[in-house]
Amino acid sequence: MSRLIGHVRDLRRFPVKSMGGEARDALELRWPGILGDRQYAFHRLEERGRLPWLTARNLAAMVLHQPRYADPDDPRTSAVTVRIPEGAEMDLHDPALLARLAEAAGQPIGLMQVGRGVFDTMPVSIGTTGGLGLVDAMHGSRLDPRRFRLNILIETSELEEALKGRRLAFGGGAALLVNEGIPRCAMVQVDPDTAARDPSVQKTVIHHFDNCVGLYAATAACGAIRMGDAVTLLD
């Protein structure tokens, strides 16, 4: 049995891990994840641990850098430009951009391209307006959904708990297998427009949501996901 639960309200991919995301009218879902999502990542050369990436946890201003593909339909080979906070554009591979970020981070860094994407756990992150609305209510004010760096936001009254372990089908034939909630780190503190930190956001997530907002998912069927697509919950 299946039932319609809502529609796609927002779609985003992140060309460079921890930098700003790009709003899209459609995303191409492939077996490794969303085409072009988190294909590049800066990494800390002196970090030998499991998560060597340079992220907004280390450098909040990362979110103010806006990358874009010159050819958005072929991100694997496309050139990438980055609009820096001052407004100028730089090539992602420009040594001056690397030096700029390294100086701000206070440590040497490098740049990697990983075609299948650089993900902490699973390749696709989704959320619901019902779930984010509950976060807003518990926090006492509206939080910009971009704080949670979701690929897909679904307009629905369904809470995230109801989707765990289920499949979601989209109008274009793509489908996702929903996994568990996304454990949140200090990145949710960072305002996507100013990079200012607000620790109270993370406190809300920890105290009221067991530190999880949004859901991880993996590909169940490849295809396009488009803005406005109907979203069906499958058994």
Q: Give the tens place of pLDDT for each residue, 166-182.
A: 999 999 899 999 999 99
* Beta sheet of 26-30, edge-to-edge order: 33-34, 26-30, 223-226
pTM over 0.85: yes
Burial of 136 (0-12, 13-18, 19+ CB in 10 A): middle
Report, as an integer, the average pLDDT of 58-81. Answer: 96
Task: Give residue 41's domain range.
Answer: 2-234
**CATH code of the domain containing 112:** 2.40.33.20
Grade residue 195 by pLDDT with cuts at 50, 70 and 90: very high
Please state the domain count of the chain: 1
